[in-house]
Amino acid sequence: MSSASVVPRPGTTAPPPPHRAIARRGDPRRRRTSLARRRQRGAMIFLAPAVLVLGVGAGYPLVTLLHMSFSDVQVENLFQTWTGNGLANYRSLRSLPEFHTVVVNTIGFVAVVLIGTVTVGLIAALTLLKRLRVSRFVQALMIMVWVLPPIVVGSLWKFMFYGDGLINNVLAALGMHDPIGFISDPNWALWSVAAVSTWVSIPFAAVVFRAALLDIPAQLLEAASIDGASRAQTLRLIVLPLLRPTLLVVAVLTVVNAFRSFDLIFVMTGGGPGTASATLPFLGYQLAFQQFQYGIGAAAATISMVVVAVLAIGYVWLSRRELKSA
Amino acid sequence: MTASIDIWHYFQDSPQTKQLFAAWTAEFNAKYPNVKVNFVYVPYDQMNNKLLLSGQQGSGPDGALYDPSNAAALMSAKAIVDMAPYVNNWSDLSQIAKSAVWKSGDQVLSIQGYVNLLGFYYNKDVLTKAGVKPATTVAELQAQLPKLKAVGVNALDIPGKPTADGEFGAFPWFLGEGVNYTNLSSPVTTTVLARTAQWVKDGYVPKDAAVWGPTEAFADWIKGNAAYCQCGNWELGTAKTDAKFAYGVVAQPAGAAGSHVVGGGEGASIGSAAKNPALVAEFFKLTVLSKAGQLAFLTINGGLPTRLDAGKDPSVTSNALLAPFAGEVANTGSRPSSPKISRAMIAMGTAWSAALSGQQSPSGAAQTLASSVAQIMN
């Protein structure tokens, strides 16, 4: 290092002289470093069980799934050595007659659940913002919906969606003569299940949005009001920009949940009629656990997993950014 | 020395199940008093995978009562063993209906002690109003459908879910016209699909049938919403307690090739981890496969005996509601025994549902079905 390099330039902080950079025993900086190290070690000890559980409980199955998706795995050799077969499982998956329908269904399903959940969740949060008794009651009701087991929700809605079910009876009372095949008509089935999935997701989104809305400083809203901003302008120019990180996080979580949605489809339509409401995770289940085509089922699951993983990484990144901005 | 055998099953934990197991244990212990029988419950949807896993680890059961359509797959995974050495010289084997013995070549994979069959439940009140008698052929049924609809109810409730449940309802219509998994490319496949799809279009069969299993079809019929329902013998008890109308049962209406349904219910297999396979076979012979054991099952759980002598027992023949089902036992059709059959069954259920709902044209669904099954079975 040349001597010139240690000469401070105007407006800059000079690096400490080399002899002062070496911390000695008793030096407060050295004490801080060892304290940081101890803390780091402590943190690692506390993190270890979680890392171990995740590694064994999630990491190992994921690696096995990947391995399976690139191997010839049938019922005969499920517990024996698997022979690699390259991309054969992915090719077989793509050549299934229902694959194209299933991919389109999955994208449509996710899109409807995402738009429905975020929009209605936000409207619900805005409606429930006032601290009224009725809003507390509605919130409690929504939480109840959220925690209901999918098998209960699916069965309930299935009966309501039947040709002679509650909804068609209400529509008939309103003058609609032909019952709608909510789950039996191939043009309706997927959207009906998506609507129920949205209905289940809304409470979570509403609760999160409400918490974020309550965090918006009241002064900002008052200032906007004094400046003559309308409610729509306040929402568009102040509330939504401030909610953006939360909106993104909720959106990512909704997409992840919708993408791996299986239970409601299983209970309500069994993927039908025909293949009208089958999605990629449902197809993966059918292939692996009903048809014993483990390799191809693993390929379907891997595709789902990759999409969810990309979204999960996005979620973590957004969460970090939100944390930093907070 | 006291030995024990473990039998896996997925029967619901109920007083009836406990009564049945107690009756079977008593029959077995009368000859083998020192052998303890443990009935181990395994959830239905976990049974195959648990059998596969435990078979490989050598920790599986001595025997299992489960869906025998998976027997070929389990045999190829060495989760169960060939029963032939233990039953081929058994004099009573000739008493068991052939369709109840699941074979692969010379190997005996599983034997059913009882079958669940589909029949046609009918609402007598509706049929009387329509002025018709229970249909015995598809042609008769076809002719009755407009009259039944005119009464103001669904003419027929059938299962049409795109799963193995849906296939259980669909397959008899194909068998009745001489179509099996081996000749699906026949034009008759399209005819059968087109006929049923037309029934939906004409409003004789409700649209919801495209997502119904047998349970949902029966639930609609028992409410008085339909004249006929294609449903199983296991619903006789519910019909007795819940029907608010007069009703009866006839066999599946016969097509050009006769009346054939396919047997459901559980099969008995010997696990590959069995310490004493001969003893496990003895257990099955003395319980699930014996006349007394099958009649006990009939009384307690309603399953139809697969033994010819048990089928002729007065408790079966004198029961007017059970007799049509019992009469079907000798004519039951069977699917090809193949480890891939469960895949083919789902393909058929899916095509049936697609045609009923209009997702695919009957010819399109028939084409997809034939090509999918050909690809699967090759």
- Shortest alpha-carbon distance between residue A179 and chain B (Å): 10
Give the per-residue pLDDT at B249: 94
Judged against a pLDDT cut of 70, whether residue A11 lies above it is answered with no
Give the per-residue pLDDT at A30: 67
Structure tokens at B269: 């297999």
Please tell me the distance from the alpha carbon of residue B172 to that of residue B141, in angstroms, as a whole number.
15
The secondary structure element, H or E, covering residue B101 is strand B101-104
Judged against a pLDDT cut of 80, whether residue A318 lies above it is answered with no
The DSSP bridge pattern shows strands B63-66 and B267-271 to be: antiparallel
**Cα nearest neighbour of A165 on chain B:** B208
Contact A168/B at CB under 8 A? no
Give the per-residue pLDDT at A34: 79
**Cα nearest neighbour of A80 on chain B:** B56
Judged against a pLDDT cut of 70, whether residue A19 lies above it is answered with no
Q: How many CB pairs under 8 A join A and B?
A: 115
Judged against a pLDDT cut of 60, whether residue A92 lies above it is answered with yes
Contact B107/A at CB under 8 A? no
The pLDDT mean for chain A works out to 86
Give the per-residue pLDDT at A326: 62
A76 contact residues in B (CB cutoff 8 A): 76-77, 339
**Other C-beta atoms lying within 10 Å of the C-beta of residue B89:** 8
Decide if A273 and B368 are in contact by the 8 Å CB cutoff: no
- List, for residues B44-89, the tens digit of each pLDDT value: 878 988 898 887 777 889 999 998 888 888 898 889 999 999 999 9
Higher-confidence position of A136 and B269: B269
Judged against a pLDDT cut of 80, whether residue A146 lies above it is answered with yes
Give the per-residue pLDDT at A27: 66
Higher-confidence position of A159 and A2: A159
- What's the pLDDT band for A28 if we cut at 50, 70, 90? low
Decide if A271 and B371 are in contact by the 8 Å CB cutoff: no
Please tell me the distance from the alpha carbon of residue B346 to that of residue B343, in angstroms, as a whole number.
5
B227 Cβ contact partners less than 8 Å away, ≥ 6 residues apart: B122, B123, B126, B127, B130, B144, B148, B151, B153, B154, B155, B156
Contact B366/A at CB under 8 A? no
Taking chain B (378 residues) in runs of 10, the rounded mean pLDDT of each run is: 86 85 94 95 86 82 92 88 95 90 92 92 97 96 97 96 93 96 96 97 96 93 96 87 94 93 91 93 96 90 87 86 82 82 92 96 96 90
Cα→Cα distances A262→A259, A271, A289, Å:
9, 9, 13
Interface test with B, best of A292, A293, A294, A296 (most B CBs within 10 A): A292
**Other C-beta atoms lying within 10 Å of the C-beta of residue A72:** 15
Name which of B162, B357, B371 is nearest A271 (Cβ-Cβ).
B162
* pTM of the complete model: 0.82
- List, for residues A191-224, the tens digit of each pLDDT value: 999 999 999 999 999 999 999 999 999 888 889 8
Give the per-residue pLDDT at A289: 84
Cα–Cα nearest to B69, from B303, B348, B336: B336
Cα–Cα nearest to A148, from A107, A185, A199, A103: A199
From A25-34, A58-67, A142-151, the region with the lowest mean pLDDT:
A25-34
- Shortest alpha-carbon distance between residue B196 and chain A (Å): 15
**Cα nearest neighbour of B75 on chain A:** A76
Q: Average pLDDT, stretch A118-142?
A: 87
- List, for residues A62-87, the tens digit of each pLDDT value: 999 999 999 999 877 887 889 999 99
Contact A310/B at CB under 8 A? no
Cα–Cα nearest to B260, from B159, B167, B172: B172
- List, for residues A283-316, the tens digit of each pLDDT value: 999 898 888 889 999 999 999 888 888 887 887 7
Contact B238/A at CB under 8 A? no
Give the per-residue pLDDT at A292: 85
Strand, helix or coil for residue A185 = coil
Structure tokens at A34: 């060892």
Whether the CB-CB separation of B262 and B81 falls below 8 Å is answered with: no
Please tell me the distance from the alpha carbon of residue B106 to that of residue B125, in angstroms, as a whole number.
50
Please tell me the distance from the alpha carbon of residue A165 to that of residue A170, in angstroms, as a whole number.
9
Give ∠ CA B245-B250-B252 in degrees, rounded to 5.
125
Please tell me the distance from the alpha carbon of residue B336 to that of residue B377, in angstroms, as a whole number.
10
The secondary structure element, H or E, covering residue B311 is helix B308-311
ipTM: 0.81
Give the per-residue pLDDT at A56: 84
